[in-house]
Chain A
Amino acid sequence: MNSEIQILRFTTAGSVDDGKSTLIGRLLLDSKSLYFDQLESIEQISKKKGFDYIDLSLLTDGLKSERQQGITIDVAYRYFSTPKRKFIIADTPGHIQYTRNMITGASTANLALILIDARKGILEQTKRHSFIASILKIPHLIVCINKMDLVNYSESVYNEIVQNYQDFFSKLDIHDVRFVPISALNGDNVVNNSEKMNWYNGGTLMYNLENLYISSDVNHLDARLPVQYVIRPQTHKFGDYRGYAGKIEGGAFKKGDRIKLLPSGFMTTIKAIEINGKNIEEAFSPMSVSVTLKDDLDVSRGDMIVKENNVPVISQDLDLMICWMDSAYLKPRKKVIIKHTTNECMGMITDILYKLDINTLHSIKDFEDFKLNDIGRIKIRSSKPLFYDSYKKNRHTGSIILIDPNTNATIAAGMII
């Protein structure tokens, strides 16, 4: 019945007045994913606050402090589905002081939704959100030119904004970009086609969300299985059983494939691939499987299973873009815990190369402090070799987080160059 439904994860970023919450509310409302009791509850609160409209942002702002201030601070996840797809929205704040929350939302997204107010055109914030999508290598981008009702649904206003966006966008590393003129408030081109913009025939926002091709978003070429957990039943029936469990983070593995184990370098053959004890012929990303091997070798968590003719980089030196997420400044020679796939080790910041101006993407070589929300390029030396790909090639084997060994806080997100 539901065999064709895929999951599309998308992120939105926005600030108070750009209509982001209204758009999400509209998507939920028009796809019939908003419930009567939710609507009733926000209707009452809107009335209590003296608004003469229903404040749809009350739906997404889940914490008391956010509702009091009327702003989104932390990422909120929302869900809706249509007969074609299940959607997971990571709804994030748009202001520069919450860059780390935007990065968090963007890290798992297939698609970024960018909103432009038709009256204002491209703002610094529009560029910032686009840059973040590009740095995080989100494969698809939909740019909604919102509030078309306030510019008389003008085709020329729309065309000018699209043209300006394309000029600036040529610098970025996203290849699938679409534009949709909408009015979130009135519902034009959100779920239903607008009768007021007959000059536009690119499909509604929902049409694009439901139909854009996402199957090639994961890496299909480079087979990677980071060993997560070793299943050893230690029962009579399964005496010698050793299942190497983990999530396929790229490519595909088949029964009978010749594989190489990292870091040992030993080669062997896949005996079976199982999900819950059932054999499957082929496993691909993002399946969670358990594999058994022909030979009895020493394999543990943090090791990686790859194909013998396609191995990742094996190195203790990492060159990466990071977003700094801690209130203490980043300093050279700082010791950190590196978490990469299922592997963990100590590391040291060996060099800070430059900071990025997130509004222009210019690199700043001459800076005083590397602060919370700053993005830049650094080098790290790890205490043992890691097996990685560039983030551009594989978002799973090319990403790391840094943890402060003293506070246990997550202090940086890193993308390997």
Chain B
Amino acid sequence: MNHIDELEAEAIFILREVASKFDNPVLLFSGGKDSIVLTRLAKKAFYPAQIPFKLLHVDTGHNFPETLEFRDNLISNMNLDLVVGYVQDSINKDPSIEEKGANASRNSIQTITLLEMIDKHKFDVAIGGARRDEEKSRAKERFFSHRDEFGQWSPKNQRPELWSLFNSYKSHGEHFRVFPLSNWTELDIWNYINNEELELPSLYFSHKRDCIIRDNMILAKSDYIKLKESDKIKEMTVRYRTCGDMTITGAIESIASNTKEVINEISLINTTERGTRADDKRSESAMEDRKITGYF
């Protein structure tokens, strides 16, 4: 077996374990490449049966339009069951949670909406596409990650995880996050996309776009970003390595227009994937702090 086959076998094992051990799982689907890979793996794990759980998209209202279009096509082509949680609904309930200012983002409010949806639908496990190679606190994650009744992660007090014997026991009101792609790297994901000929939203490939350069990041010009006086708008040839909100996801200059070219590009690139994310740059422990409160 080569490494991609082995990673696939591991992820399928974990998805089947989730379906066996939980009453009401949900797969977190952002429309990004990792959740697209995860959806393919779920399809394979249960074939010829349907994927035995729903998908959940936490919609910030600041998405790239390409992502939403892609999401809706995929859901109807694969005949999947999608529920959407709207960050706007959470803001309507309590307007004070919304950030103000030029760098405002709805990134951290996603946690509130996610936990509301978990509570509303009584999901007992949320399957996510997070990978350990993305970020240093994610490098500490378990495959089966316990969340207390407040949805919080306790990084210093995690259950030991041995062999492939996953402890899924919990008390009422608690839930789990499960990460089948823990051992995959960005390059593994792209090799899998290439092998499986998976379709992706167009923003992962080179295209022309009006951009703003701010704090060394290339941000897409959009209605969701308040322009500063110093901002200059410039048409650039870019692509995205990750697919978050338009307000926080930076592009890279790139001419890679298909999966093979992207694989060549990231084999040579010298910055990390999350280096394009303003949400991680707010402080040294930005990801850990958000994860503790229940972020993905």
Q: Which residues of A contact B (CB under 8 A)?
A: 2-7, 35-38, 41, 45, 59-65, 67, 73-79, 81, 85-86, 88, 100-101, 103-104, 107-108, 228-229, 231-235, 237-238, 241, 243, 245-247, 274-277, 286-288, 290, 301, 325, 337, 339-340, 342, 395-396, 399-401, 403, 408-410, 413
17 A-B pairs with CB atoms under 8 Å apart are A6-B3, A35-B272, A37-B271, A61-B136, A62-B140, A63-B155, A64-B284, A65-B156, A76-B139, A76-B140, A86-B188, A104-B162, A107-B163, A235-B49, A238-B49, A241-B48, A408-B170
Q: Are B167 and A403 in contact (CB under 8 A)?
A: yes
Question: Within the complex, which residue of B6, B45, B191 is in contact with A286, where a contact is CB–CB below 8 Å?
Answer: B6
Q: Are A79 and B183 in contact (CB under 8 A)?
A: yes
Q: Are B164 and A247 in contact (CB under 8 A)?
A: yes
Q: Are B183 and A88 in contact (CB under 8 A)?
A: yes
State A334–B291 Cα separation when bound (angstroms): 35
CB-CB under 8 A from A396, the residues of chain B are: 163-164
Q: Is B50 an interface residue (CB 8 A)?
A: yes
CB-CB under 8 A from A7, the residues of chain B are: 3, 6-7
Chain B, residues 168-212, CB within 8 Å of chain A (1/0): the string is 011100000000001101011001000000000000000000000
Q: Are B155 and A77 in contact (CB under 8 A)?
A: no
* CB of A274 to closest CB in B, whole Å: 8
Question: Within the complex, which residue of B13, B182, B183, B191 is in contact with A288, where a contact is CB–CB below 8 Å?
Answer: B13
CB-CB under 8 A from A286, the residues of chain B are: 1, 6, 9-10
State A60–B132 Cα separation when bound (angstroms): 12
Question: Within the complex, which residue of A45, A65, A399 is in contact with B284, where a contact is CB–CB below 8 Å?
Answer: A45
Among the stretches B16-24, B101-109, B221-229, B237-245, the one at the interface with A is B16-24
Q: Are A5 and B9 in contact (CB under 8 A)?
A: no
Q: Are A2 and B4 in contact (CB under 8 A)?
A: yes
Q: Are A62 and B169 in contact (CB under 8 A)?
A: no
Q: Are A77 and B132 in contact (CB under 8 A)?
A: yes
State A40–B4 Cα separation when bound (angstroms): 31
CB-CB under 8 A from B139, the residues of chain A are: 60, 62, 76-78
Interface centre among B165, B182, B187 (most CB of A within 10 A): B165
* CB of B102 to closest CB in A, whole Å: 23
Q: Are A287 and B2 in contact (CB under 8 A)?
A: no
Q: Are B163 and A2 in contact (CB under 8 A)?
A: no
State A10–B188 Cα separation when bound (angstroms): 19
* CB of B17 to closest CB in A, whole Å: 7
> Nearest CB to that of B156 among chain A residues?
A65
State A287–B20 Cα separation when bound (angstroms): 18
Bin the interface of chain B by size: 35 or more
Q: Is B158 an interface residue (CB 8 A)?
A: yes
* CB of B44 to closest CB in A, whole Å: 4
State A77–B185 Cα separation when bound (angstroms): 12
Question: Within the complex, which residue of B10, B43, B48 is in contact with A238, where a contact is CB–CB below 8 Å?
Answer: B48
State A327–B35 Cα separation when bound (angstroms): 38
Q: Is B159 an interface residue (CB 8 A)?
A: yes
Contacts known (A2-B191, A35-B272, A229-B20); A275 close to B44, Cβ less than 8 A: yes
State A45–B283 Cα separation when bound (angstroms): 12
Question: Within the complex, which residue of A64, A231, A399 is in contact with B288, where a contact is CB–CB below 8 Å?
Answer: A64
Q: Are B2 and A2 in contact (CB under 8 A)?
A: yes
Q: Which residues of B contact A (CB under 8 A)?
A: 1-10, 12-13, 16-17, 19-20, 43-50, 132-133, 136-140, 155-156, 158-165, 167, 169-171, 182-183, 185, 187-188, 191, 269-272, 275, 284-285, 288
Contacts known (A77-B182, A229-B20); A247 close to B9, Cβ less than 8 A: yes
* CB of A3 to closest CB in B, whole Å: 5
Q: Are B159 and A75 in contact (CB under 8 A)?
A: no
* CB of A124 to closest CB in B, whole Å: 23
Q: Are B160 and A103 in contact (CB under 8 A)?
A: yes
> Nearest CB to that of A287 among chain B residues?
B9
CB-CB under 8 A from A410, the residues of chain B are: 159-162, 167
Interface centre among B12, B155, B270 (most CB of A within 10 A): B12
Question: Within the complex, which residue of A100, A103, A228, A399 is in contact with B16, where a contact is CB–CB below 8 Å?
Answer: A228
* CB of A1 to closest CB in B, whole Å: 8
Question: Within the complex, which residue of A85, A276, A337, A409 is in contact with B159, where a contact is CB–CB below 8 Å?
Answer: A409
Q: Are B183 and A104 in contact (CB under 8 A)?
A: no
Interface centre among B19, B155, B170, B288 (most CB of A within 10 A): B155
> Nearest CB to that of A341 among chain B residues?
B165
State A262–B132 Cα separation when bound (angstroms): 37
Question: Within the complex, which residue of B162, B191, B272 is in contact with A413, where a contact is CB–CB below 8 Å?
Answer: B162
> Nearest CB to that of A405 among chain B residues?
B169
Which A-B residue pairs are the 7 nearest by beta carbons? A62-B136, A408-B169, A233-B49, A276-B44, A288-B12, A288-B9, A229-B16
State A274–B171 Cα separation when bound (angstroms): 36
* CB of B296 to closest CB in A, whole Å: 17
Q: Are B133 and A79 in contact (CB under 8 A)?
A: yes
State A36–B270 Cα separation when bound (angstroms): 5
Question: Within the complex, which residue of A64, A81, A107, A301 is in contact with B185, where a contact is CB–CB below 8 Å?
Answer: A81
CB-CB under 8 A from A275, the residues of chain B are: 44
Q: Are A108 and B160 in contact (CB under 8 A)?
A: no
CB-CB under 8 A from B132, the residues of chain A are: 77-79
State A410–B161 Cα separation when bound (angstroms): 8
* CB of A318 to closest CB in B, whole Å: 14
Q: Are A62 and B137 in contact (CB under 8 A)?
A: yes
CB-CB under 8 A from B161, the residues of chain A are: 104, 410
CB-CB under 8 A from A5, the residues of chain B are: 2-4
Contacts known (A2-B191, A408-B170); A399 close to B163, Cβ less than 8 A: yes
* CB of B20 to closest CB in A, whole Å: 5
Question: Within the complex, which residue of B4, B49, B160, B271 is in contact with A100, where a contact is CB–CB below 8 Å?
Answer: B160
Q: Are B9 and A413 in contact (CB under 8 A)?
A: no
